[in-house]
Structure formats: structure tokens, C-alpha cells
Amino acid sequence: MDMVNGVLNWVGTTAMVASLLLFYPPYYLFKTCYSFLSWLFPEDLTGKVVLITGASSGIGEQLAYQYALKRASLALVARRESSLQQVADRALELGARDVIVLPGDVSAPDDCNRFVQTAISHYDRLDHLVCNAGIASVGAFQEIPDVTKYSSQLDINFWGSVQTTFAALPHLKRSRGRIVVTASATGWNPVPRMSFYNAANAALMNFFETLQTELGSQVGITVVTPGWIESEMSKGKYLKEHGEVEVDQEMCDAQIGLFPVEYDKNCAKAMVQAAQQGERYLTVPAWFRAMYLWRVFAPEVVEICYRLLYMHGHGARQADTASRTMAESGGKQLLYPTSLRSEEIKSD
């Protein structure tokens, strides 16, 4: 066995690289032609039933509006019923066939089963499941007093999507529907001081990539990995070290730094279009994909840059970083949407 692995270490690697170089050009040509045809003939969403979690604000809210513009019927899930109702009213104005509001907590398995079954009872079908609910945490791992306070990261970001998918899958298989899951680019490009958030998104991506293989053509899956998008997270709403959600705009500026922030409407529009075209992956904004190459081929360079931006000057406060200094020196006014420039953002 050692001899076989030894030979494969030399021969197998060379053969795999050579075969990839030969295979990729025709494969890329096929993908390009297929994408073009999917763009010409996207899925018609008129009358389709779409369940969206985390629909009360940010990307989830805008997803509701984009599906409404396609004349879909919606089931909107979030914990804040009053905010959901406002989104529902606006979605109806934009053209949604019907909208039901389902207050619930995706971290509770019983709630996941309840809002899926309620949607089925109301519409008698489910075509798209959009797993969008999520929460972020910020803090250097070595400074966290109690790691158990961050368990909700996995409960909401990972298990919330898994439990909802488990409840919805039989109905999606019946309609040959689609799952759209909002992960994050941090799943493959981990950012310092967001270790639990990075890990939850990496788990989420791996889970749904596994389902892509297991389900094949029975249910389509689109994995979305956004960069910094206009949302409650980019407005500073984070899970803090004591286990409560708070708004910390200084910490937010320190994390975003000089990264341009995309409008939530643009992200949602791209997600719905990708779902219609049957895309397996989507990164918003598209230029973020180039960072993946740096992560793969020059990880040490990425690590050094991140340490300089996010960890330098870390002695006094976590927000005292080079990235926040750059943001406050003019980057925020140039690169952030208007909604993120205010210093008076409050928690709901």
C-alpha cells in the first residue's frame, strides 16, 4: 500500500493535472453554451410557491420583492412578525400572487416543521426554498470568555437551513423544485475575528454541495456566497461575547474596512436570476471570486494582509484596527451604501 501511494504521489498528481488541462477547455465551452441557453430560457416563476427564511430585512426582504416581481406566491419566515407583515404588504404591491407571513425561529426544529407544513397546507406545493436566515459574530477567538455563548451561530446559520431543508425536501422533490442557500464568501475565504461565522458557513457550503451530489436532478441547489452586502450585519448587528445581539458600528467598520459593500437589492436580483437559470453557484459581487484564487495559490500572502488589516493595533480595543482607520478616513463615504454611513444605526 505504501508503494502504491508513493507511486501515485508522483505519477497520479502529474496525470491529474494533465487530464484537467485537457478536459477543461471542452468542459468550459459546454458550460458556456448551457449557461447561454439557460439565460435565454429561464424558469418561469409565475405562480410558483417560494418559502424564504430571514425575510424581514436585508437580502431576505429584497428576495421577497424580486420573487414578487416574477409573480410568485410567497411564504415569508422570520422572528419579527410586524416587519414581516410590512414586507408582505410591499410584495403584494409589487405583484406577488399571494403572501403568507409565518413568524418562526429557524433554530427551533419544531418551528421549521411548522412553517413548512403551514406553507404546504396553504398552497399545496413548494417550488423554491430560500434558506437565508443568518447571524454574524465578531471577536478574536483567544479573547472570547465563553465559547458556548456562540452556539447560536451553528443553530441559526447551519442547523436552521438543514432543518428547514429536511422538512421541505419531500415537497421539493415532488415539484422538482430548487433550494437557494445564502452562505457567505467567508466559508472559503475566512476573515479574522469571525471564526464561528466562517466555520458555520463552511459547514453550510459543504452540506449543500453534498446534497447536490446526492439529489442530482431531483432538486436543484444554488449555493450563494456573498461578499459584503448591505444588511443588518453590515450595519453592525452582531452576536457579542455575552451571547446577546447588539449593534456595534465601530466593530462593523473594522471588519468591512475598504471592501466595497454591494446593495442588497442587486444581490437579491442576482440570486433570483441564478435560481431561474439553474446555476449551481453564485458569488456576489462577482469580483470576489478572484479572491478565491489568492486563497488557493498564495494563502500566506492573504494571511499577512489580513493580519495587517484586522489584527494590527489590536491591543486596546478590537475596533482599533488599520481597516477601521481606512474606513473612517474616507473609504466609508466612497464604498458604502448611504444606509451604512450613519453613526446612529440602532438595534431593532
255 pLDDT exceeds 90? no
Could you tell me the pLDDT band of residue 336, with boundaries at 50, 70 and 90? low
Dump pLDDT digits (tens) for 170-205. 999 999 999 999 999 999 999 888 899 999 999 999
Q: Where are the domains of the chain?
A: 44-340
Q: What is the DSSP letter of 186?
A: G
Could you tell me the pLDDT band of residue 334, with boundaries at 50, 70 and 90? low
Say what percent of the chain tops pLDDT 70: 83
- Return the SS3 of 316: coil
**Of residues 167 and 17, which shows the higher confidence score?**
167
Element (H, E) at 199: helix 195-215
pLDDT at 316: 45
Q: What is the DSSP letter of 129?
A: E
Per the annotation, the verdict on 197 as an active-site residue is yes
> Among 240, 155, 238, which residue's Cα sits nearest to residue 204?
155
Cβ contact 63:271 at 8 Å? yes
Q: Exactly one of 123, 197, 310, 336 is catalytic; which is it?
A: 197
Pairing type for strands 237-239 and 245-247 reads: antiparallel
Residue with cell 474596512: 257
Those residues whose C-beta lies under 8 Å from the C-beta of residue 184, and which sit 6 or more positions away, are 134, 197, 198, 201, 225, 226
Render 47-114 in DSSP notation, one character per residue. Answer: T-EEEEESTTSHHHHHHHHHHHHTT-EEEEEES-HHHHHHHHHHHHHHT-S-EEEEE--TTSHHHHHH
Could you tell me the pLDDT band of residue 244, with boundaries at 50, 70 and 90? low
Radius of gyration of the CA atoms of the chain, in A:
21
Could you tell me the pLDDT band of residue 345, with boundaries at 50, 70 and 90? very low
CATH tag, 44-340: 3.40.50.720
pTM, 2 dp: 0.88
* Mean pLDDT along residues 86-103: 97
Dump pLDDT digits (tens) for 259-287. 788 889 999 999 999 999 999 999 999 99
pLDDT at 71: 97
- Return the SS3 of 128: strand
Average pLDDT of the chain, as a whole number: 86
